Structure 1
Amino acid sequence: MSQTSAEQMRAWKGPAPFSFGFRPFFLFAAVWAVVSMLLWLAALGGAVDLPTRFDSISWHAHEFLFGYLGAVLAGFLLTAVPNWTGRLPIVGLRLAGLFALWVIGRFAILFSATLPIWLAPIVDLSLSVVLGVVILREIVAGKNWRNLIVLALLAVFTLANAIFHYEALSGGYAAQGVGLRLGVATAIIMIAVIGGRIVPSFTRNWLVRQHNPARPAPPMQRFDKAVLLLSLIGLGLWTLRPFDLLTAIALVALGVLHFVRLIRWQGHQTFGEPLVWVLHASYLLIPLGALAIGVDRILGSPNTAGAQHLWMAGAIGTMTLSVMTRATLGHTGQELRANRMTVLVYLCIFGSVFTRLLTSVWPEMIHISGCLWLVAFAGFVWAYGPALMRPKTVDGA
């Protein structure tokens, strides 16, 4: 990085939302989680006809996985990479440009029926591509080779989005296609990799402060690496051969292995601090999802979508919201302690996940699940939006 660029970044005095990557992306990821759910519930009830080339269910799935999660990933990576590489963060107009790509992508997908067929996919994919180039440059400049795996996962996530577009525009049901499964599988691997670093680390820090002698297993030991390798194989089978018995058996085995991995992190010692136990509860949805999908395949259960939601709204939705709350507190100079609104947000997001599971026997529960989702993310915007919009005034803990 040139001295001029470094000085410009240090001297950034513009709007606070563009002073760090997590600010615009975390805030508006939550806003989009609310808006897209409102549109989905309205479309589900026949109140609106969405002007998109996707069928309504595929649009709903896409905008959660590649819209909402895409924004959270951008915010997380733009915040984490400077810590990994020791380089200055992307701020100002460059950050605003990345954010604009995401916003334009959401409108392009929503109104894709009114646009040339090729335009929405190109616009939607542009953020991931540009973000990947930015992160690659930072990793190479900082010689931070160990985190190339995260860049590789981002590339696979982008490929999954491209496949989703191809399946949807080819007349297929993209909500049950390879693109969606590849995107979900990649997200689960990301959580397993990154969560495998932060969950035991944050747990250990909290236990030390509480003078609790218990300690989580250190991150990324041989057992963890074996679980991740087997996860790649099992999730690869699920992506390509979702209905095979071998896939079902592999998912059940993965569920058991991830459950053992989670137990080693001493989550049962952390009930005194919601910011910590929520990470364990979120990770728990990885083995629960694997077990549910695997058992569903073995038994031929019709509730496949419900089981899959343990990974989507479940592991992905809860873990991202957990990380967004903690990161916002830390990076905006607030005490790392969950207030009542934060606890309400956590309870509502978990309530949304588990009420969604009941829709196979009580279809009306989908509206309760959607409302709990709305309260969770609207609560995040209400509680954390002001801090994300204003300058940091004190150093975080």
Structure 2
Amino acid sequence: MSTTPVRPTTILIQPKDAAPKAPAAPSMKVFLELAFRPLYLAGTSWALVAIALWIYTPGLLTAPLGGLAWHAHEMLWGFIATIAFAFMMTAGANWTGITPMAGKVLALACVLWVVARIGFLLPFEAAFWLAMAAELSFFLLGSGAMLRAVAVSKNSRNYAMPVFLAGLAATDALYLLTARGGDYLLLMQRFNAGLVVMALIALLIGRRVIPFFAMRAVHGLTLPTQMKTGWVQLGACTVGVVSLLAGIPMLSAAALGLAGTLALVQIISWKPLAVRGNALLWILYVGYSSIGIGLLMAALQYAGVDLPRVLPVHTIAMAGFSVMIIGMVTRTALGHTGRPLATDRTIRASYWLMLIAVALRLTAIAATPATATLLHIAAAAWIASLALYLWQFTPMLIRPRN
């Protein structure tokens, strides 16, 4: 009999793959901790719905604020200014160390915003006035919250922010009151004043965050702060708003031309070729430069150059603000929810769809047999761009930080 010992059989137990971590449950407390969460979703959702109503079912817009007046108002104050409001309330926490708006106050702001959107759609005079009161309260609540944050923190660098929000409220009130009076030329004058207030906010926020984002993302990139030209741009836009309201076209032309020129000088100094491979950055560069180009167009128009009336408006508002917005609401949402600062195919698709919508809408300004078709395709691209954003980011924004 063999005496060779028998080795025990070794049984290797393969560990099972760890089950993927289930996403955290949605949380109302988290949803209301910073303004970007509810208001990014609200603003982008409304931009999608408002364009669908305006392009595909304009016959439904029979409220006292109807037709073109409703479209212009909802795009500027209902969408663009709402996203700016959300960004300022969110960034204000970093700038001052105090969260300007959260919890019940943020919930109140959201309710006021919803009341305004519904009220401006209802075909009743009382609904218009209720909506107006709610919307002005929304902006003034934000102005007061930001004023408290900068005052308590003694953050003198940001004392202009509550003034900007109050400026949005003031131009909004002027616009809405004029809309009830029926003076179209005065209405557009006041709309343009609101547009320049919003341009001022976008230019100054962009001046602050775009170089910061770029230097963090691109190794070795150093960009100038250009604080002195920022003050000049602030002054130029302020003069632009006052001269527009006062009806002084040549002064408006000079002020808007200076503001637009400075925006383009800034873009060049920010070395755009260095960020061409980073979609989170180049989309912001495109939007910022488009605001500058649109302001130059507006300057030429006020100086007497014969340009299509809506060309500067759509260049500033759509090619400028809306392109910056689709970049900003993705970049800041990724950062504040703890996700990597990188784009995937869905995000890049939303960017390209927005750019296609802009190109088609600007092309449609020229009256041709294809104008109606171009408008419908542009609207479809716009809706698809924002729908992709909502599909991807809604689950992130209603849940705790990753």
Q: Normalising to structure 1: TM-score of the pair?
A: 0.87
Conserved 8 A contact 1:157-1:187: yes
Rounded to whole Å, the distance in 2 between the matches of 1:131 and 1:315 is 24
Gap change, CA 1:135 and 1:89, over 3 Å in 2: closer
Q: In the comparison of the two structures, how many residue pairs are matched?
A: 373
Gap change, CA 1:245 and 1:294, over 3 Å in 2: same
1:237 aligned to which of 237, 243, 246: 243
- Alignment partner of 1:215 is 2:222: yes
1:309-366: CA deviation from partner (whole Å, max 9, x where unpaired): 1111121111122111101000111000011111111112222222211123232222
SS in 1 for 2:124: helix
Please report how far the alpha carbon of residue 87 of structure 1 lies from its aligned counterpart in structure 2 after TM superposition. Answer: 2.2
Rounded to whole Å, the distance in 1 between the matches of 2:304 and 2:378 is 26
Who is 1:142 aligned against?
A: 153
SS in 2 for 1:188: helix
Segments of structure 2 that go 5 or more residues without pairing to the other structure are 1-26
Greater Cα shift, 163-172 or 349-358: 349-358
Gap change, CA 1:269 and 1:235, over 3 Å in 2: farther
Please report how far the alpha carbon of residue 223 of structure 1 lies from its aligned counterpart in structure 2 after TM superposition. Answer: 3.0
Rounded to whole Å, the distance in 2 between the matches of 1:39 and 1:144 is 42
- Alignment partner of 1:372 is 2:381: yes
Who is 1:198 aligned against?
A: 209
Greater Cα shift, 248-257 or 274-283: 248-257
Please report how far the alpha carbon of residue 35 of structure 1 lies from its aligned counterpart in structure 2 after TM superposition. Answer: 0.7
Gap change, CA 1:18 and 1:249, over 3 Å in 2: closer
Please report how far the alpha carbon of residue 304 of structure 1 lies from its aligned counterpart in structure 2 after TM superposition. Answer: 1.5
- Counterpart amino acid of residue 284 in structure 2: L
Greater Cα shift, 232-241 or 141-150: 232-241
Alignment of 1:95-174 (within 5 A): 95-111=106-122, 113=124, 115=126, 118-173=129-184
1:119-162: CA deviation from partner (whole Å, max 9, x where unpaired): 23112211111121222222212211221111111111100000
Please report how far the alpha carbon of residue 27 of structure 1 lies from its aligned counterpart in structure 2 after TM superposition. Answer: 0.9
Identity %: 27
Greater Cα shift, 222-231 or 331-340: 222-231
Structure with bigger gyration radius? 2
Greater Cα shift, 13-22 or 326-335: 13-22
Please report how far the alpha carbon of residue 91 of structure 1 lies from its aligned counterpart in structure 2 after TM superposition. Answer: 2.9
Segments of structure 1 that go 5 or more residues without pairing to the other structure are 1-12
- Counterpart amino acid of residue 147 in structure 2: L
Who is 2:11 aligned against?
A: none
Gap change, CA 1:298 and 1:136, over 3 Å in 2: closer
Please report how far the alpha carbon of residue 63 of structure 1 lies from its aligned counterpart in structure 2 after TM superposition. Answer: 0.6
Conserved 8 A contact 1:109-1:124: no
Rounded to whole Å, the distance in 1 between the matches of 2:230 and 2:108 is 37
1:181 aligned to which of 179, 185, 192: 192
2:66 aligned to which of 52, 55, 68: 55
- Alignment partner of 1:227 is 2:238: no
Gap change, CA 1:347 and 1:239, over 3 Å in 2: farther
- Alignment partner of 1:329 is 2:312: no
Who is 2:297 aligned against?
A: 292
2:399 aligned to which of 369, 379, 390: 390
Gap change, CA 1:223 and 1:123, over 3 Å in 2: closer
- Alignment partner of 1:350 is 2:355: yes
Please report how far the alpha carbon of residue 265 of structure 1 lies from its aligned counterpart in structure 2 after TM superposition. Answer: 0.9
Gap change, CA 1:174 and 1:140, over 3 Å in 2: farther
SS in 1 for 2:120: helix
Who is 1:87 aligned against?
A: 98
1:12-50: CA deviation from partner (whole Å, max 9, x where unpaired): x74432232110000111110111111111344xxx332
Gap change, CA 1:183 and 1:298, over 3 Å in 2: closer
Gap change, CA 1:258 and 1:170, over 3 Å in 2: same
Rounded to whole Å, the distance in 2 between the matches of 1:89 and 1:392 is 19
Conserved 8 A contact 2:311-2:362: yes
Who is 2:53 aligned against?
A: 39
Rounded to whole Å, the distance in 2 between the matches of 1:302 and 1:221 is 33
SS in 2 for 1:177: helix
Alignment of 1:252-331 (within 5 A): 252-298=257-303, 300-301=305-306, 303-331=308-336
Conserved 8 A contact 1:256-1:287: yes
Conserved 8 A contact 2:53-2:60: no
Rounded to whole Å, the distance in 1 between the matches of 2:53 and 2:185 is 19
Who is 1:6 aligned against?
A: none
Gap change, CA 1:247 and 1:382, over 3 Å in 2: same
Rounded to whole Å, the distance in 2 between the matches of 1:226 and 1:309 is 25
Who is 2:33 aligned against?
A: 19
Conserved 8 A contact 1:36-1:60: yes
Rounded to whole Å, the distance in 2 between the matches of 1:225 and 1:89 is 25
Rounded to whole Å, the distance in 1 between the matches of 2:256 and 2:204 is 18
Conserved 8 A contact 1:125-1:158: yes
- Counterpart amino acid of residue 96 in structure 2: T
Conserved 8 A contact 1:17-1:24: yes
1:80-110: CA deviation from partner (whole Å, max 9, x where unpaired): 1211221246333332221111111111111
Gap change, CA 1:127 and 1:267, over 3 Å in 2: same
Conserved 8 A contact 2:178-2:187: no
Conserved 8 A contact 1:286-1:315: yes
* RMSD over equivalenced CA pairs, Å: 2.3
Please report how far the alpha carbon of residue 204 of structure 1 lies from its aligned counterpart in structure 2 after TM superposition. Answer: 1.4
